[in-house]
A and B are shown apart, each in its own frame.
Chain A
Amino acid sequence: MADKKKKNLPPDAQEYQAFQKQREVKRPIFKNCIKAFLVGGFICFIGQIISTFYIHFFNFTEQTVGNPTVATLIFITMLLTGFGVYDRIGQFSGAGSAVPVTGFGNAVISSAIEHRTEGFVLGVGSNMLKLAGPVIVYGVFSAFVIALIKTILIKWGGL
């Protein structure tokens, strides 16, 4: 995190902050956003193709097709991650490959592969959920708070 509050730092540190800001590599924000849009949109497009395929040829409805679509996408991610392709896509597209559920899968799978040398329990098992951990924790907690508020409002307000 680079948003340090300048007022709280001693003069030397402030000078260093200014120096660091000067030397920092400038990020081409607009170009990155375009790349993220294209790759992220493409992954969702593939997801839509998979969903439509499942709806037409299997017994899934629009309501239930989300689960097999996500599972299929993560399976494809496993192959891409195992062969090192997903990292290259990630370098190119940034958030475009991190935000869809494939990015979540890649984080879990690549940690699992990387820490295999440390053993299955202490290596793979402990490190798999390093990125997934906060996502699950805050997802569940925020859903809890929101569902709680909504349920209370419905019961005592007839919302």
Chain B
Amino acid sequence: MNYYKIVSFCLILLLFGCGTNSTLESSDEENRDIELTKISASNPTAQHPSNQAKEELKKYDEITTIKAVNTDKDLLIAVEVHHHDRFKLANIRKELTKELEKMFPEMKVELTTDKKIILELDQLENKIQAESFTKKKLEKEIKKLIKLSKEQT
């Protein structure tokens, strides 16, 4: 009986200790393989914030893919990380969101790591490059995607 008590006590200590805070590694290597496309400036809604955000996020080692689109008020970013970093995904999301909110205090930043949003944003970015979107249309699309990223069931 004593043996089981000791084992379960150690197990509980271990479980408590498993919640660690990690910080992201950032490097200034410019020649890294990272998937992102910058949207040209010939657009009703300038994609400067998105391009800026992509430049900023490129510095982080963990990130492999960045997709971002913005309206005047919202900035929607989707990132993908290396698979072995996915254990700390919640932490990465929190830290990146903080970074971006510091960078763009006047915009509402939505950062997601969801695969579906990455796929949708990829399509949206290509569409924006090919044809120019009106402000209203872009806003509608972004709102739709933000709503999708917040669904729980």
Give A contacts to B, CB under 8 Å: 55-56, 59-64, 67
- What DSSP secondary structure best describes chain B's contact surface? helix
The answer to whether A67 and B153 have CB atoms under 8 Å apart is yes
A-B contact pairs, 17 of them (CB 8 A): A55-B115, A55-B116, A55-B119, A56-B119, A59-B148, A60-B116, A61-B114, A61-B115, A61-B117, A61-B149, A61-B151, A62-B114, A62-B116, A63-B114, A63-B152, A64-B152, A64-B153
Which chain A residue shows the least CB distance to B151?
A: A64
How many pairs of A and B residues are in contact by the CB < 8 Å rule? 24
On chain B, the residues within 8 Å of A67 by CB distance are 153
**Would you list which residues of chain B between 106 and 153 have a CB under 8 Å from chain A?**
114-117, 119, 148-149, 151-153
Compute how far the CA of A22 lies from the CA of B137 in the bound complex, rounded to whole angstroms: 77
Compute how far the CA of A63 lies from the CA of B115 in the bound complex, rounded to whole angstroms: 10
Which chain B residue shows the least CB distance to A67?
A: B153
Compute how far the CA of A62 lies from the CA of B152 in the bound complex, rounded to whole angstroms: 10
Which chain B residue shows the least CB distance to A60?
A: B116
The answer to whether A61 and B116 have CB atoms under 8 Å apart is yes
On chain A, the residues within 8 Å of B149 by CB distance are 61
Instruction: Give me 5 other A-B pairs in contact (C-beta within 8 A), A62-B114, A63-B151, A63-B152 excluded.
Output: A59-B116, A59-B148, A61-B148, A61-B151, A62-B115
Compute how far the CA of A59 lies from the CA of B115 in the bound complex, rounded to whole angstroms: 12
